Chains A and B, each alone.
Chain A
Amino acid sequence: MELISQHAKAIMEGCKKRACGAGLKFQTETLEYIVTNKDLIDLGPKNMIPTLYDYWVHDVELLKDKGTYELFPYNPYETVINTRPAISFYNDNNPDWLNVAIFYHVLAHIDFFQNNLFYRHTWDEDFTGQALSDKRTIAMLHAEKGRWVDYVIEFTRGIDNLVDYYSLMSEINRPETLKSTKRLDYYFDVFLQTIKKVSLTEYLKELDRYNDTVSQYGTGAESIFFAKVTKSYPEFAAMFEKKKKTERETRRDIIRFVEDHSSFLRKEENKWMTTVMEIVRKTSLYFQPQIRTKIMNEGWASYWHERLFLRDDRIKGNEVGYARVNAKITSLPRVGLNPYALGLRLFSYIEDIADKGRLSFDFQRLANINARETFDTKTGNGLNTLFWIRENMNDFMFINTFVDQDFVNKHKIFVAERRPNMEKGVWEYYIKSRNAEAYRKMLLDSLYHPPSIRVDEEKSQEGVLYLNHRFEGKQLVQEYIPNTMLGIEYLWGAPVKLETTEFVADGQPDAVEGSYYSGAGEKDHEQTYRARRVLYKMEKKELSKMLL
């Protein structure tokens, strides 16, 4: 791995100027490296973070990727990682004109990382630096504890998709004023009443004083009010801090909950494990926004490399070459999903309708198809709308809001399904629906969505960890439950229960083949299922299951 040449760097700097001129916003310092295909494959299992901690599953992935590479050799163009400063990797065999297009793509990714609010918690971090420190910590522990470090990583990773990402988001983006009411609540509801046990008159007097302060000083009232409180109760601040700490909202984040409450981890000889768990948890949180903005991120980058490069004089003479490359990246497949193509088309579509003022109630209530086709209030608001979306939305919101029938019709996209044709011995792919709602549903179903599993503290009696899965129409993958629970039991040091919903066969099965194939002729045999709550229990590495 080495830095790109000065020549290429100069091109990059030129691209940055033009990109900023076009409205993209990003930290201007970036690092670019040349890597070989082999380097990139090596980095693959580590999510492209060269400094990510070592874990044997990554090695297995690596061997698999190498096997895959042997069958399907490929030549990656670049990859970007979200860190400060942003780092990107390139092949060294790209011609200059292609580098220009690629740099625009990369810069748009960086712009997305650094402006989309779902990445807020990564903005102030040099993640590769942090990861390096974590990697060293793990290497050090490995030298001391051996393979047990791997087990802790493995078992923690078993629940690292249940990290409480949205609470983190809500914490970060919560207005200051809302945060401080917690202090007020604590002061009036807990501190005065149950700790100081003040008399009713004193309580009311304090309440009056607060109201007076508010009417006198307005928004700044609270801090003025508490200045006096600190004088009369010097211990208040410390007690409030302590309270905040112990009340850390952890029920939604199983890793955290286990760290805080596990009897096994509390033992002196096991304390090091929480360090490892915290590293895994932090790493997982770091990647959460990326998997939730895949379509937007790729669409955004594709939109900008196209927009900027087409207006760039360096395209001259390379129009055909660029068209080929671009078509490869952004063509809609006949069957299948391409996030680049879909995101690009959605952004372009939104720009168009926003320009014409169609993101308005006036347009939405129009029923006349001709009037809809010609509707144009020439707001010229398209680009601003895109910047707003880039800042505030994730994939779910993006698709749910903007995939409509006009969009589906415009790009002739459809929901594809397959069915077996036994006579010909083939799977047939056919057009299932061109309905926007069906298409939207298909897209939303394909988005990343980890199950919602929380700790039920009331049912967690006698040292048992009771996990409750909120059923959202899909059961958990049953094959994975035993080993996942085995891992949690190890970290928890006591039995673990999981309440979840499963589809249980109803009545007599008519035929063995059941509903596996969607062939129309077999519908008669279809087995019916009913969703039932079940309780899994893992105790001493033995799993049992009962219907609730």
Chain B
Amino acid sequence: MKTEKDEPSDRPSRGGGTAERPEEGRCACVADHVLLEAPGPADGPRHGFLRSIYATADITHLQSGLPQYSYLHTMGSIQDLLDRDLQREKDGFPRKIRIARLIRPVKGGKDKVVVVPTTIEEKFYHDARIPEQQESNRSGGSGDGQEGEVVGEEPIHREQGAGSNGPGQGEGAQHEIQASLYDLGRILSNKFRLPNLKNKGKKRALKKYTYDLTDLNRGSGQVLDKKATLRRIIETNIVLERVPDVTAIDPSQLLVSPEDHVYRVFSKEKDYESQALVFFMRDYSGSMSGEPTELVVAQHVMIYSWLLYQYEGLVETRFILHDTEAREAPDFYTYHNLSIAGGTRIESAYRMINEIVEARNLDRDYNIYVFQGTDGDDWDSSGEKTIPEMRKTLRYANRIGITIACGQSAEGLTTTFEKYLSGLKAEFPDKLKIDVINGDAQEARLIEGMRHLIALSEGKRTWS
């Protein structure tokens, strides 16, 4: 119960949520998630690792009840806001709207995620993060225990994922995340002017329609379906008790009603021509741990979102992890989280992709994209095994987009993988794209890189 909101000016850390419900252990991480997902440093009222006292209000303090509507209803206004943001640039002011993902951790890893726009009102604020001091890590508490005693724990991983443009940890809950990734893709396409796949039906349409005489109609139509009509007549006559013995029917005795004529009619059939199959593959060996993985996965989730939007949900994804051997991950969550201390053979992953595609002739029905994340390291230093596998993939794939996320140590150097790829790159300039990013890249850089990976080739108007 409470007064009006007390945050006249300090709004960066706002966001509802339950911070103080002691009976539910999730509160701390919930709060952090919601906060950290908002871009930029949280300052002003936020102090300490929990929500500040100003973030509690009667309105948010007590919770129960059910959601009454979906935020999707407001997507129209997101569009308006993005338009406004574009206008800012024309007026000579920096853009302000960013996309945040709110994550509610749920037991079993199927976290719920929604995508929302967010912005920060920039002002002169005190920075709670003082170098050399850890005070911003302090908050209050109550209850028994000695000084120094640990009173609670919370997984570190969550925060890392959330704070660094992670993929959204909730990939498990397929339907929910799908819906919100679709929005993310839409926002990415519009806001960042990523190429739109569908170019008003020119060249390659996503769906094609075939016309066929498949639908049935009684009474009128183009072609009489004799078999169906006969069956219908007999049914009617059985009901009328004009067929005493079904084994010996006398056609001359049958009554024929006009309603019994069954016709085939001309109808439009949707035929999904170009569905997309996207392989996300990444190196999960020891050298990838930390930043490279975060960057690669963050970029992959954006690409995934974008494709989801472009193909209106008709995207199939396969997730492949490799060290010296490749394995398939069942979902994005596993894809994001697994790491192993092994060596690196990129060839293994391409071989696996080729096997998957060949086994079911997938290249016939699908547009196939491969997005690979790596730190550029490969044991196969000359590429003698990898290149043939990649060449095979390139034969059917629409695009192979490779993200090379360098660790800090390797910055500025050309990696093994890059070196032996140069020949192949010259051979398939349209199909093979490589983006090299540094360890400390920000979201904007990732989107820039993504633009490059999915960029149209010269002179092409649609992306294929």
Given the known inter-chain contacts A75-B63, A77-B1, A301-B2, please indicate yes or no for A411 contacting B142, CB distance below 8 A: yes
Asked if B15 contacts A64 (CB within 8 A), the reply is yes
Given the known inter-chain contacts A73-B65, A334-B142, please indicate yes or no for A329 contacting B1, CB distance below 8 A: yes
Interface mask (A437-461 → B, CB under 8 Å = 1, otherwise 0): 0010011011011110100000000
Q: Name the B residues within 8 Å of A424 (CB-CB).
A: 153
**Quick check: is A192 within 8 A (CB to CB) of the other chain?**
no
Asked if A74 contacts B16 (CB within 8 A), the reply is yes
**Quick check: is B413 within 8 A (CB to CB) of the other chain?**
no
Asked if A442 contacts B102 (CB within 8 A), the reply is no
Chain B interface SS verdict (over half): loop
Give the number of residues in B that approach A within 8 Å (Cβ atoms).
Answer: 113
**Quick check: is A295 within 8 A (CB to CB) of the other chain?**
yes
Asked if A413 contacts B116 (CB within 8 A), the reply is no
Q: How far is the CA of A515 from the CA of B134 in the complex (A)?
A: 9
Q: Which of B120-128, B193-201, B257-265, B298-306 contacts A (4 or more CB under 8 A)?
A: B120-128
Asked if B2 contacts A79 (CB within 8 A), the reply is yes
**Chain B nearest Cβ from A337, distance in angstroms:** 4
- Which of B6, B142, B155 touches A425 (beta carbons < 8 Å)? B155
Asked if B91 contacts A151 (CB within 8 A), the reply is yes
Q: How far is the CA of A541 from the CA of B89 in the complex (A)?
A: 13
Asked if A79 contacts B59 (CB within 8 A), the reply is yes
Q: Which of A214-222, A234-242, A359-367, A427-435 contacts B (4 or more CB under 8 A)?
A: A427-435
Asked if A68 contacts B34 (CB within 8 A), the reply is yes
Q: Name the B residues within 8 Å of A416 (CB-CB).
A: 138-141, 151
Of chain A, the residue at the smallest CB distance from B153 is A426
Q: Name the B residues within 8 Å of A64 (CB-CB).
A: 14-15, 100, 102, 116-118
Q: How far is the CA of A425 from the CA of B68 in the complex (A)?
A: 37
Asked if B150 contacts A430 (CB within 8 A), the reply is yes
Q: Name the A residues within 8 Å of B53 (CB-CB).
A: 294-295, 337-339, 342, 446
Q: Name the A residues within 8 Å of B56 (CB-CB).
A: 338-340
**Quick check: is B429 within 8 A (CB to CB) of the other chain?**
no
Asked if A73 contacts B67 (CB within 8 A), the reply is yes
Interface mask (B12-40 → A, CB under 8 Å = 1, otherwise 0): 00111111111000011011001000001
Q: Name the A residues within 8 Å of B52 (CB-CB).
A: 337, 446
Q: Name the B residues within 8 Å of A49 (CB-CB).
A: 4
Given the known inter-chain contacts A63-B71, A75-B63, please indicate yes or no for A415 contacting B138, CB distance below 8 A: yes
Within 8 A of B (CB), among A391-421: 411-421
Asked if B6 contacts A106 (CB within 8 A), the reply is no
Q: Name the B residues within 8 Å of A69 (CB-CB).
A: 16, 67, 71
- Which of B3, B22, B67, B81 touches A297 (beta carbons < 8 Å)? B3
**Quick check: is A373 within 8 A (CB to CB) of the other chain?**
no
Asked if A446 contacts B48 (CB within 8 A), the reply is yes
**Chain B nearest Cβ from A294, distance in angstroms:** 5
Of chain B, the residue at the smallest CB distance from A108 is B1
Q: How far is the CA of A503 from the CA of B128 in the complex (A)?
A: 13
Extra 18 A-B pairs, beta carbons < 8 Å, given A47-B8, A418-B154: A60-B81, A67-B102, A69-B16, A69-B67, A71-B17, A71-B114, A73-B67, A80-B4, A81-B4, A160-B9, A291-B7, A291-B8, A294-B6, A334-B141, A416-B138, A426-B156, A448-B10, A474-B126
Which A residues have a C-beta under 8 Å from some C-beta of B?
36-38, 40, 44, 47-49, 56-57, 59-82, 102, 105-106, 109, 113, 147, 151, 154, 157-162, 283-284, 286-288, 290-291, 294-295, 297-298, 301-302, 305, 325, 328-329, 331-340, 342, 411-422, 424-434, 439, 442-443, 445-446, 448-451, 453, 469, 472-481, 483-484, 486, 503, 512, 515, 518, 526-529, 541
